[in-house]
Structure 1
Amino acid sequence: MRSTSFHRSGTQLTAEIVDGDGPPLVIVPGVMSDAATWRPVVERLGLPNPVVTINRRGRVPSGPLGPDYSVRTEIDDLHHILDTLGGAVELFGWSYGGLIALEAACERSDLRSLIAYEPVSAPFAPAAILPVRAAVDRGDLDAAVRLVNTGVSGFSAEYVAALRESPAWAVLRPLAAPLPTELAAIDTYPVDLPRYRALTVPVTLLLGELNANAEPYGTAFDRIAEALPQARIDLLPGQGHLAHAQAPHLLARHIAAAVGARPRATGLAAQRRS
């Protein structure tokens, strides 16, 4: 694994790269995650393809979000990285990264496939934005991590208490710093869902079985799935929104299967299963 840098408008963007042969698989993480968070999945993919895991803005060693940050900023960052890589790629996005990937896909014609694991869109947890911002503004990253786990992801206080005693807590604290700005960006971004129907690239949507029809991830998923009748729906059994951390072997298998299914014709790609 090696690191590389991309520069756009004076901001450094970085990624971790596993070399290989063929079209790259580009991974776009969501909030509270970075390239390091996705290493357990990358290590289990078993694909010959190069794998490029992006460290989005706000994640060391990439630059800060910037004063005019928005979802558009992330879309343009992704375009810049894909243009720099050159050629067609297999594109995967998780959560906020799924929204970024979908929006970029609507503006490109060179993708080979698109995989989105529980992409989010507005309205998304609007009640959590102000409390999380207040916690970050006063430097209480512990409170921010707690709030996003309880107020957004819906985990119990007992779950959060156990998480705080685990090594993961130290990883999550710095990732909470850009969180309120990212949540506000998601909640104010006007997604034009009807244009998703025009996507001709093969699309796979991944849904954690535990989030089916549940707020906020399942309902966000349903909005996007309805706008993508051509997509293939793939259910992750026994999982919620965090399969990359809780079942990386399972998620890697589903991602690899979606990439492997890429050569089929668009008509076949439109078949949906649950």
Structure 2
Amino acid sequence: MKLPPLKALPVFEAVARLNSFSLAAEELAVSQSAVSHQIKQLETYLGEKLFLRSGRQLTLTEEGKQYLEPIGSALLQIERASEHMLGREESRLRLACFSSFAVRWLIPRLPDLQRARPQLDLALEMTMHNPQLSDRIADCFITIDTSSPAFSYELLYKERLFPVCSSDYWQRICRQLELDPQAQSEEGLAAAQLANFPLLSTQTIFNRQAGDWQAWYEVVAMSIPSSARIQHFSHMLLALEAARYHQGIVLTNDYMLSTLEDADDFVRLPCHHVITGDCFHFAWKTSRRREQGIQTLRRWLVAQAEADGLR
């Protein structure tokens, strides 16, 4: 078995993660010259530059980026395997997920997880976009990306969008359109009637302006009426807060309304819904499938999703 200089690998990982020779030296409790020597030795062995140095700026080369992913993952697995053999397997897990999912669904349920599984120490990494599936980012993920063959996936939720507004704003709609406020049928409010009120749009759902409302109207073979007033937001959390304060009608999903403390602030309008095609999965590296902490979290998430009717 031909291996690279093994002492250099943790040094390489630390420099790449901290983006600094001096910080890596401090973390590893060695001199900065020792760090430089180990990196030079590794680069000589590989015959490739791993870092670009320009004054005080340090960046990974393309070769360095490609090398970091498998090396970082391998070092982490060595650490986990050793801890397991020593009988002190790490119970701390990093979970990366969308900020909206974390804020509106996961965080309110964490006290239940802490009571049920006090040995599990969960650290959240929130992202605006789909998290990169990498051990360098987190130990497990809630993601809509299931393309990596190195990961296993468990379905939590198939997203659908439906219009909601504040309770007070619903009363205003009913007065203006002469509707029964207690109407529950999905056909109780015509799509064209919504255009009489401000439509709050989240750009990130379909990555285009008013894409959410375009998709919603297309379900009934309509375009957004030209008279519609659309207010744009970069994030569903912002649009939902605008709706809470009576600024119009927003398209949201099931998990955004699952916080019991404020669910009564909103009314789901008696209209149709639209399936976005996004499916939220819990993802973990298949090579780590036997880790107790990951499987404990997986089972708890699935149970919570089933209890809330998400799956």
Asked whether the two chains share a fold, i.e. TM above 0.5, the reply is no
Give TM-score scaled by structure 1 length.
Answer: 0.31
Give 1 or 2: higher strand fraction. 2
Give TM-score scaled by structure 2 length.
Answer: 0.28
Point out the structure with max Rg over C-alpha: 2
